[in-house]
Amino acid sequence: MRVVVGHLYPDYLNIYADRGNIAVLTARAAWRRLELDVREIGPGEPTLAAEIDLYYVGGGQDREQALIAPDLAARGPELGEAVAGGAALLAVCGGYQLLGRFYRDRYGAELPGAGVFPLHTVAGERRMIGDVLLECELEPGERRTLAGFENHAGRTYLDEGAEPLGRVVAGFGNDGESGYEGCRAGRALGTYLHGPLLPRNPWLADWLLAQAVARRSGEPPVLDPLSDDLELKAHAVAAARARSRGGRH
């Protein structure tokens, strides 16, 4: 079976090894005899909404965000329809911010967003940097943790009633105050977690792959378990570091 991934702006939004998330998805798909077909989508190139099962966008500095924001905002309606139609999506940091309504940088310049997530972001003076640990429940009754690294000036505010990705156990998260991190809209996830995120959180990579398959098959399949010893060790190290050093929470 083929899973088509749309990698948005790989040449602009790719810091802290965010591209590594694509490598993890590719390997974990192959180990389940799923072929991952990655389409790179740059400025001015088609969104391919009829073909894409999973969209991915990484993080970036304000300068790179400013270079692609108008192009991404123009795709907003198409991406919103694709997600409403069952496409999965993972957006990291700068990409996550620009999938909200807008990102206002610390000089007050407002970058338009795609409006896929019910949120907006305003940069503050002090950057929120460090290891992060979250508690998530993407499937009812299945409590899991996510460990990663954050570095952002943006404070992200979810709309009333919007669903966060997880509760902050250690770290700053969306705004350093609310105690929540990220956003979830169906199969679309946004997060500040770099690292890259997926190598040390293999369960999330599998969740995204299953959601991507479900866009075509209807139901998320139960993927064959893999021996994730190394990944789980990396998770444990990152989680311990977050607990010992994480931000205010």
Judged by CB under 6 A, the chain residues 157 through 196 that form the site for ligand GLN are none
Among 74, 130, 144, 151, binds ligand GLN (CB under 6 A): 151
Q: d(Cα 169, Cα 128) in Å, to the nearest integer?
A: 15
145 touches 135 (CB < 8 A): yes
247 binds ligand GLN (CB under 6 A): no
Please identify which of the residues 7, 120, 152, 194 carries the catalytic annotation: 194
For residue 237, give the H/E element and its range: helix 229-245
- Residue closer to ligand GLN by CB (options 190, 220) is 190
Query: Given the rule CB under 6 A, which of 31-39, 92-100, 175-183, 232-240 is the region that contacts ligand GLN?
Result: 92-100
Residue 217 interacts with ligand GLN (CB under 6 A): yes or no: no
Number of residues that bind ligand GLN (CB under 6 A): 14
Give the chain's count of helices (H) and strands (E): 6, 12
Amino acid, single-letter form, for residue 170: A
Q: Among 58, 45, 69, which Cα is nearest to 13's?
A: 58
How far apart are alpha carbons 118 and 185 in whole angstroms?
Answer: 9
To the nearest whole angstrom, how small is the minimum distance from the Cβ of residue 126 to ligand GLN? 11
Q: What are phi and psi of 3, to 5 degrees?
A: -120, 125
Query: Is residue 60 a contact point for ligand GLN (CB under 6 A)?
Result: yes
Which value, to the nearest 10 degrees, does the dihedral of the CA atoms of residues 16, 17, 21, 26 take? Answer: 180
Under the binding rule (CB under 6 A), the answer on residue 59 touching ligand GLN is yes
Is 65 one of the binding residues for ligand GLN (CB under 6 A)? yes
The residue type of 66 is A
Q: Which residues contact 101 (CB under 8 A, 6 or more apart)?
A: 113, 115, 119, 120
* Residue placing its CB nearer to ligand GLN in the complex, 132 or 212: 132
Question: What mask, x for binding ligand GLN by CB under 6 A, covers residues 2 to 21?
Answer: -------------x------
Q: Among residues 16 and 207, whose Cβ is nearest to ligand GLN?
A: 16
Q: Is 93 a catalytic residue?
A: yes
Q: Rounded to whole angstroms, how far apart are CA atoms 178 and 182?
A: 11
Q: Which is nearer to ligand GLN, 4 or 238 (CB)?
A: 238
User: Catalytic annotation on 194?
Assistant: yes
The reply on whether position 93 binds ligand GLN by CB under 6 A is: yes
| Binding positions for ligand GLN, rule: CB under 6 A | 15, 59-62, 65, 93-94, 97, 123, 151-154
What are the catalytic residues? 93, 194
